[in-house]
Structure 1
Amino acid sequence: MVAERRGDAASARTVVLVHGIGMGRKVFGDLVQHLDEEALVVALDLPGYGDAPEPTRTPTIERMADLVAAYLRHLGRGPVVLLGHSMGTQVVTETAARHPDTVDRLVLVAPTVDRHHRRALRRLWRLGRDLWGESPKVLMLGAREYVRAGLNLRRKMRAMLTHRPEAVYGGVSAPTLVVRGEFDVVVPREWFDEVVGAIPNSRAFVVEGHRHETLIRTAGPTARDLRRWLSEK
């Protein structure tokens, strides 16, 4: 993996960011700017994404979760606020369930995969619908990161779709914030409500007027609610 650190290293709070499929740590640029004055913020490139080398074999979601947990222990800052977007929510959920000592709080932004619509073509169709009319910023950054993800994107998609996050949610003990863009086609409201209901200690937040790539378009609304939530005991 590749890890990029920004922000206040003297802060007691550490926020670690995990991207979605085809993406990389660069998509969190706006979110980092909203958080780096009050926390140490670490954005990751998972194996084979962004600047991280392509592994010989495409790792499963569970394997990537173990790698994230190993890095968090190496980081040595105690339990962190662990945030994932899209496929990244599957990785961080597994991390929180398999390695609860590494996670203080969990944030799931646009959680996948909707168990009712797991087929790859269906997922791609929904993503295409969601991106129709999106901002040029989202389209350009997303296209660049997908190209960087390489020729093994099909295998990575298979690893994402074979994972069953619904079997893991009940094992998450960390307080969890679940976020959805109001018009997110990839994460329909029914699935979002199911995710929120399956996690024992969770809260829902809907970003009005936003879609699946809400953190790329502008991270301000999510960052504001995240700060409010983190300030609560």
Structure 2
Amino acid sequence: MSATRERSVPARGRRAPRPESRYPTREIGGATYFTSRDVYGDLVLVVKRFPGPPTAAAESPRPFVLVHGIGVSSRYFQPLAARLARLGPVWVVDLPGYGASPKPPRHVTLEDHAEVLARFLQRAGIRNPVVVGHSMGSQVVSVAAHRHPELVDRLVMLGPTTDDRRRSVPQQSWSLFIEMLKAPWSAKWVVGSDYLFRCGIPYYIRQLPNLIDDRPEDRMPQLPMPVLVVRGDGDPICPPRWTRHLADLAPQGRHAEVRGPHVIMFTDPGRTAELLLEHAR
């Protein structure tokens, strides 16, 4: 996959960032986006909004909201977001403490992340969205959908964690090591720099129990909306037995595979976008 290139587009009124202020317009993969900084109590969410083309309303049945996994940020969603934005509006978030979002002053649980996401959906007035989570982000979006089903029209879980037979730090660390060996260098650079320099190892370690202690299988039977579970056919973190099990538990669940490792939305954004658009329709 060729690397996407990001560039700034001139915008008026550039000022120092403030809560809920809009940053300069940017562009990636031919799609323009705006960045906002939203404050929810003591937690901050940074959001990239791709408004899509003027004809979006006729081409895309629903807007998309993309939520990243542990240690990383919205950056690895950008190739997928750029493709989806050709047809309609897309929002990509940096959860509190990740990417461009500042570190929280306290411990943030999976439920905290889910509540901030739900409040963002309400505040932004996003109607009938397809909410997409990757890895730990799939756990966040499933919690949000379980608690606030009226805010989520369709749910997508990409590479959902955590496999119920490997819920330990050594097992998850080994799977992540295998994943880094399989991923292309472009993905390693984005993911590795996020882990080391933007999230940081201390925050990653504090967040890891969120991923391991959660039981997403308990929520799946209670999700009323259509749910799509997708894995890469070479994903060492999410075995097919686990992802098929989650899809089978959902009343309106469906399972699909994409060629590639854990970060399928980065390595194969084209096929992943096709599956998401099919699910949205």
Aligned equivalent of 1:163? 214
Does residue 98 of the first structure (1) align with residue 147 of the second (2)? yes
- Aligned residue runs from structure 1 range 16-165, under 5 A: 16-147=65-196, 148-150=198-200, 151-165=202-216
Q: CA 1:87/1:6 → structure 2, altered by over 3 Å: closer, same or farther?
A: same
Determine if the alignment matches structure 1 residue 7 to structure 2 residue 51: yes
1:181 aligns with 2:232: yes
Matched, 1:225 2:275: yes
Q: Which amino acid aligns with 1:101?
A: E
Give how far 1:133 is off: 3.5
Instruction: Measure, in 2, the Cα distance between the counterparts of 1:73 and 1:188.
Output: 34
Aligned residues: 230
Q: Distance in 2 between matches of 1:43 and 1:123?
A: 26
Q: Tell me the distance in 1 between the aligned counterparts of 2:246 and 2:236.
A: 16
2:17 corresponding residue in structure 1: none
Match of 2:31 in 1: none
Alignment of 1:188-227 (within 5 A): 188-208=239-259, 210-227=260-277
Q: CA deviation at 1:13?
A: 2.5
**Structure 2: runs of 5+ lacking an equivalent:** 1-44
Output the CA distance in 1 between the equivalents of 2:195 and 2:268.
Answer: 19
Instruction: Quote the offset at 1:37 in angstroms.
Output: 1.9
1:41 CA displacement = 0.3
**Which structure's CA Rg is the greater one?**
2
Deviations 1:176-222 (A, max 9, x none): 111010011100111111111111101111013x1111112231111
In structure 2, give the amino acid aligned to 1:113: T
- TM-score, normalization by structure 1: 0.95
Quote the Cα distance in structure 2 between the aligned partners of 1:229 and 1:66: 24
- Give the TM-score normalised by the residue count of structure 2: 0.79
The residue type paired with residue 125 of structure 1 is W
CA distance in 1, matches of 2:213, 2:109: 9
Deviation per CA, 1:97-152: give whole Å up to 9, x if none. Answer: 10001001001000101111100111010111122132111110111111210221
Q: Flag structure 1 segments of 5+ consecutive residues without an equivalent.
A: none
